[in-house]
Amino acid sequence: MRRWFLVRHGETEWNRVGRAQGQADPPLNQEGRAQAEAVAARLAPVAFEAAYSSDLRRAAETAAPVVRGRDTPIVHRRDLREKSFGEWEGITYEEVRRRYPAMLAELFDERPAFAPPGGESDLELFARAAGAAARIAGRHAGTDGNILVVSHGGTLRAIIVSTLGLPVESMWRIRLSNAGLSVITTFEEGGATIDLLNDTGHLGPGFDA
């Protein structure tokens, strides 16, 4: 049995204004840094066998406080990056809605083969994220320690649904907030359970999910 602690990165200014980030690399803003510290406090009692993060700054900066003072180095992985939004990266979703209304409808209409211009489809993201999770699991075969993964909303959705054996179309039915915590248990004989989904209690009662 292994428990996976999945954390979405904290807030960036691009999150705050509704700008498509994808694989662009903005850092956490002040709120995001505070959220990262709150995640660290929440997970302080948890011992981790290993810690993994996307190599993009907003994820790496969220993971750093969690492992501070531990003998658990963060492994930064390119395959844990967010879905690529191609030409849409850097513009707001309102601008996307004005410029590409039909394409935006496809993005949220559970059509997994659709990809933004120059970007990834949900099918490609699903395969990449599931592959990343499988490779991480393979590195820790035969152990039952806790694994920390700090990544992005799309990537973590893909990991969750692939681990639970759900279809790729279900990815966008899961809401993951900035600095939200989800926990999944996987079993050696196969199968998985979701023990916690998008918990934001550590961010305080005033947090707007």
Instruction: In whole angstroms, give the CA distance from residue 93 to residue 117.
Output: 14
Which residues fall within 8 angstroms of residue 58, CB to CB, at 6 or more apart? Answer: 9, 10, 12, 21, 25, 26, 27, 28, 32, 152
Which residues fall within 8 angstroms of residue 11, CB to CB, at 6 or more apart? Answer: 28, 29, 31, 32, 35, 178, 179
Joined together, the tokens standing for residue 154 give 């799309």
Among 11, 31, 61, 82, the active-site one is 82
Instruction: In whole angstroms, give the CA distance from residue 114 to residue 120.
Output: 8
Instruction: In whole angstroms, give the CA distance from residue 112 to residue 109.
Output: 9
Contact 118, 110 (CB under 8 A): no
Clarify whether 188 is annotated catalytic: no
Among 9, 31, 120, 152, the active-site one is 9
Distance between start and end Cα atoms, the chain: 31
Clarify whether 82 is annotated catalytic: yes
Q: Which residues are catalytic?
A: 9, 82
